[in-house]
Amino acid sequence: MSNAAQQFLEAAGTITRNLRHRGLIQTALRKYEVARDRKKSAFNDWSSARQSAAETKWDAINHLDTYLTEFTSKIEARGTKVHWCPTGPEARDTIRGIIRDAKAKCVVKSKAMTAEEIHLNEALEKDGFEVVESDLGEFIVQLRKEPPYHIVFPAMHLTRDEISDLFERELGSSPTREPEELTMIARRALRRKYIQADVGITGANFAIAETGMVSITENEGNARLTAALPRVMITLLGIEKILPKLEDLALFLPLLATAGAGQTVTGYNTLYGGPRQPGESDGPVEWHVVLLDNRRTELLADPEQRDALHCIRCGACLNVCPIFRNVGGHTYGTTYSGPVGSVITPHLRGLQDWKHLSNASSLCGACTEACPVKIDLHHHLLQNRRNAIGETPSWIERLAWRAHAFVINTPALYQFGQEVARIVEPLRLRLQGTPLDPVRSWTRTRDLPPVAPESFKEWWRNRR
Amino acid sequence: MVEESPMNAQERILARIREALTVPAPKPGSHGHGHDHGRVEAPAPVFSFKGRPVHVARAWLPPGGSTPQEHLTRFAAASAELKTDFRCVESEAEAHAQLRQIADTEGWKRVATHHSPLTDAASTALARPTLFTDGGYVPDDLEVCEVGITTCDVLVAQTGSLVVNSRTSGGRALSVLPPHHVVLARKDQLVCDLTEAFQRVEEMHGQNWPSMISLVTGPSRTGDIERILVLGAHGPKKLTVLIW
């Protein structure tokens, strides 16, 4: 078992027994479900909208070379510098170089899962730069020195009391139970940062090929401020974020907001097409777009699971997943958790170390049903199981299946097996789950069905 | 080790993409069955707007209404839900009267705005110390203003949104740094839905895009603490839309 798998099991074992955590997550997600269903019902046809989005993303991903070229030539024409980075370390070094060249001290950052993916903050802090997360949830988890719990709701696992204690300890604020007051503490702490920072780093939700623009979705206005006041702006963009046309946003913005947070559209959806243009009164004088591959092309090379690159990171599959709801976001130990994380992490970080995530699923299909771009998530989990076994079939399993096939194909042997099973049944029942049980790791948490007193064949014979 | 130029990295990524795409992927919804060989074109557009094709998805989205009156009703309903203070008034004079009233209630000492016919008239009517952001400003001077007053490109009935941009709405920060954002607009700027909004914005700016275009939907908000809604996370705590 890989280290990651061991950690997953241990963390899952602890957190599933934590009823307070479970209660917190269930309450938060119930609120989400109510809001999401209400907004879904405002669509003329939700399922056709999903199909349309899936087709648009299919077009974008299956012509990615064309659209990326169009996007970069358009965005460069207006004074933006584009950096192509095949790996995480290259992206990190590129960003470090830009910040050094800008002679920056303070960096303000808005939410970017791609930055989590390449561990950007750690690298920049090691270089001696102050990096401040400006999204409220990200700010909270940064103060706690932990990764975001959820790709959309980073501080979902914390109560107001825990946040109040944190702010009291780290920021010297007075304790409060009001979410509004807590938000204002963060607002005051960050206001000066936007003005002082030399560099602003953002993520991106969509890249529009037709017009050469990046679209950033947020509710708080922190990304808008990050992109407005510092003199250098850096946007870290996964290559799969492409959409062909500007008007595609008319579909994707409501879809993202509805599936992700139960909103009609998110508070601020902002398009950036360049650094400050002639005649404009503010905005960065330099804008760098860092295009990140980081093994996305490996996923692209698997036609069976290529649609996982359609993901718009709305978090809907996490919210409905019975596994996520019980084990929580941190148990996964990955940047992207929940069903989509379980599908893509083996591609991004290696199948053998992360194959256990394919089993962190009940295969109920709720994720596939929830996905606004119709990624076939639960089938991809099955495919990853198949691929993992195909890569390194374990000899013990191979032997067991071969023996099973032999017995099943030999009726006399099968019948003999039944007799034996019936005889040892009382002993088995007594041993089940005890340290003497040879398959204890399986039976500890599961019941085996009792062996029937007579087989179907015997029953049939007696009945005549 | 030879240092690689950025061109090389670009070529490397594009080469990997092209190689990956030599094997076609099944179309969405086919669950891996019915492989579609060769590249397939985007879904054919079937609707049109002012003679231009419109994405097929428009028909599936939340509706924006079909008459100007319906647009107004929907915008008002969406605003109420978003906690946008939406006021549809009879005339510019009435808009100014309401603006003065808000200014007195909130005790505005410093107003920030930009030059345009609508905002110039409003700042004259307000007669308070005013920072105009056109042509550059000191961020600290904007930060101390109690309100940012801007125009907008369009208002969207479907979503209760409005569109500001960095060239004709006073820059990137004016509409998001002060704690209160006031938008002045005419009724004919109200459009049906996002599809129409993007078309209109393209008609206005397509020849020379501003560096930022922002679709603003309600005041700044967060639900990051126990999913409880709080207004004014980092951007404006209040959004007032005055149209006539």
Residues 6+ apart with CB under 8 A from A385: A355, A358, A359
Task: Supply the CATH classification number for the domain A43-294.
Answer: 3.40.50.10420
Whether residues A276 and B19 touch (CB distance < 8 A) is answered with no
**Helix runs in chain B, H state only:** 6-20, 68-82, 92-106, 117-126, 139-143, 194-205
- d(C-alpha A111, C-alpha A267), whole Å: 15
Q: Of B73, B218, B60, nearest to A40 (Cα)?
A: B60
- Placement of tokens 């094997």 in the chain: B23
Kindly determine whether residue A55 and residue B28, on different chains, have CB atoms separated by under 8 Å. yes
Among A252, A271, A264, which Cα is nearest to A312's? A252
Taking the C-alpha atoms of residue A120 and residue A98, their distance in angstroms, rounded to an integer, is 13
Q: Specify which residues B159 forms β-bridges with.
A: none
Give the tens place of pLDDT for each residue, A375-403.
Answer: 999 999 999 999 998 887 778 888 988 99
Burial label for A370, CB within 10 Å (0-12, 13-18, 19+), is buried
Residue that wins the pLDDT comparison between A255 and A400: A255
Average pLDDT over residues A446-456: 84
What is d(CA A268, CA A390) in angstroms, rounded to the nearest whole number? Answer: 46
Place of tokens 């649609």: A307
pLDDT tens-digit series, residues B40-67: 444 444 455 555 555 678 999 999 999 9
Non-local (6+) Cβ contacts of B5 within 8 A are none
For chain A, say whether B223 makes contact (Cβ under 8 Å): yes
What pLDDT is attached to residue B34? 44
Task: Point out the residue among A52, A222, A277 whose CB comes nearest to the CB of B234.
Answer: A222
| Residues A219/A14, Cβ–Cβ less than 8 Å | no
Instruction: Write out pLDDT tens, residues A106-118.
Output: 999 999 999 999 9
**What's the average model confidence in pLDDT over A233-259?**
97
pLDDT at A408 over 80: yes
Q: Collect all residues of chain B within an 8 Å Cβ-Cβ radius of residue A180.
A: 230
Cβ distance B230 to A266 less than 8 Å, yes or no, reads no
| Amino acid making up residue A83 | H
pLDDT (average), residues A426-438: 84
Query: Is the CB of residue A253 less than 8 Å from the CB of residue A264?
Result: no
Check if B26 contacts A (Cβ < 8 Å). yes
Nearest to A86 among B9, B29, B230 (CB): B9
| pLDDT, tens only, A2-61 | 899 999 999 999 999 999 999 999 999 999 999 999 999 999 999 999 999 999 999 999
pLDDT tens, position by position, A44-60: 999 999 999 999 999 99
Banded pLDDT at A446 (limits 50, 70, 90): confident
B156-167 pLDDT, tens digit per residue, is 999 999 999 999
Tens-place pLDDT, residues A200-211: 999 999 999 999
Report helix, strand or coil for A238: strand
Question: If DSSP codes are grouped into helix, strand and coil, which group holds residue A124?
Answer: helix
- DSSP letter for A371, please: -
Task: Provide the b/e sequence for B18-43 (b: ≥16 CB within 10 Å).
Answer: eebbeeebbbbeeeeeeeeeeeeebe
Residue B213 confidence (pLDDT) above 90:
yes
Measured CA to CA, the distance from residue A358 to residue A341 in angstroms comes to 10
Q: What would the pLDDT profile of A51-110 be if each residue is shown by its tens digit?
A: 999 999 999 999 999 999 999 999 999 999 999 999 999 999 999 999 999 999 999 999
Chain A contact for B43, CB < 8 A? yes
Q: Kindly provide the residue ranges of all beta strands, DSSP E only, lying in B13-60, ordered along the sequence.
A: 47-49, 52-54
3-state secondary structure of A207: strand
Of B1-10, B35-44, B197-206, B228-237, which gets the smallest average pLDDT?
Answer: B35-44
Q: Which amino acid is at B60?
A: W
Residue corresponding to tokens 């970069």: A72
Q: What is the percent of chain A where pLDDT is above 90?
A: 87
Whether residue A353 contacts residue A345, with contact meaning beta carbons closer than 8 Å, is answered with no
Q: Which two tokens stand for residue A55?
A: 């087709």
**B1 inside 8 A of chain A by CB:** no
A-facing residues of B in 130-159 (CB < 8 A) are 133-137, 139-140, 143, 158-159
- Residues of chain B contacting residue A297, judged by C-beta atoms under 8 Å apart: 13, 16-17, 20
What is the mean predicted confidence (pLDDT) over A142-169? 96
Q: Which two tokens stand for residue A189?
A: 């702490």
DSSP of B185-229, one letter per residue? E-GGGEESSHHHHHHHHHHHHTTS--SEEEEE-SS-EE-TTTT--
CB contact under 8 A, A250 and B195: yes
Strand B111-113 and strand B52-54: the pairing is unpaired
Tell which residue, A156, A209, A143, has the closest CA to residue A31.
A156
Report the distance separating Cα A2 and Cα A248, nearest Å: 42
Please indicate if any CB of chain B lies within 8 Å of the CB of A196. no
A231 close to B (CB below 8 A): no
Beta bridge partners of B216: A268, B162
Q: What is the DSSP code (8-state) at residue A297? A: H
Residue B35 clears pLDDT 50, i.e. is over it: no
Q: What is the pLDDT of residues B132-150, one digit of tens each?
A: 999 899 999 999 999 999 9
Selected residue of A43, A84, A158 to mutate for chain B interface (largest B Cβ count, 10 A): A84
Residue A395's pLDDT is: 84
Chain A residues in contact with B44 (beta carbon < 8 A): none
Q: Token pair for residue A209?
A: 């090929």
pLDDT grade, residue A443 (50/70/90)?
A: confident
Please tell me which residue of chain A has the smallest CA distance to B23.
A303
**Contact yes or no for B16 and A297 at CB 8 A:** yes
Q: Domains of chain A: which residue ranges?
A: 43-294, 406-463
Q: Are A281 and A104 in contact (CB under 8 A)?
A: no
Please report which confidence band the pLDDT of residue A358 belongs to, taking 50, 70 and 90 as the band edges. very high
pLDDT (mean) for A412-423: 91
- Within 8 A of B141 by CB-CB distance, chain A residues are none
Contact A264 B62 (CB under 8 A): yes
Nearest of B230, B216, B157, B53 to residue A183 by alpha carbon: B230
The pLDDT mean for chain A works out to 94
pLDDT value of position B37: 42
Q: Identity (one letter) of the amino acid at A60? A: A
Residue of chain B with shortest Cα separation from A221: B235
A 10 A CB-CB count for A374 gives 21
Cα pseudo-dihedral A400, A401, A403, A407, rounded to 10: 130
Burial of A276 (0-12, 13-18, 19+ CB in 10 A): buried
Rounded Cα distance, B2 and B25, in Å: 36
Give how far the C-alpha of residue A216 lies from the chain's centroid of Cα atoms, to the nearest Å.
18
Q: Is A250:B192 a contact under the CB 8 Å cutoff?
A: no
Q: Which residues pair with A286 in a beta bridge?
A: A232
* Residue showing tokens 């990997």: B16
Q: Please, are residues A247 and A212 in contact by the beta-carbon 8 Å criterion?
A: no
What band does B36 get if pLDDT is binned at 50, 70 and 90? very low
Q: Are A290 and A94 in contact (CB under 8 A)?
A: yes
**Gap between the Cα atoms of A378 and B31, Å rounded:** 11
Contact list, B41 vs chain A (CB under 8 Å): 59
CA distance A120 to chain B (A): 20
Q: Is A87 on the interface with B (CB under 8 A)?
A: no
Evaluate if residue B31 carries a pLDDT over 80: no
Domains of chain B: 65-243 (3.40.50.10420)
ipTM of predicted assembly, 2 dp: 0.91
Q: Which of B225, B228, B238, B239 to mutate to test the interface with A (most CBs of A within 10 A)?
A: B225
H-type alpha helices, A63-171: 64-76, 88-101, 113-117, 120-126, 136-143, 160-171
Can you read off the two tokens belonging to residue A343? 């599908």
Let me know: does B107 contact B147? Beta carbons within 8 Å: no
Give buried/exposed letters for A190-223 (b at 16+ CB in 10 A, else e). Answer: beebbbebbbbbbbbbbbbbbbbbbbbbbbbbbb
* Cross-chain residue pair B57–A137, CB shorter than 8 Å: no
Q: Find all residues with CB under 8 Å of A433, minimum gap 6, and list them.
A: A440, A443, A444
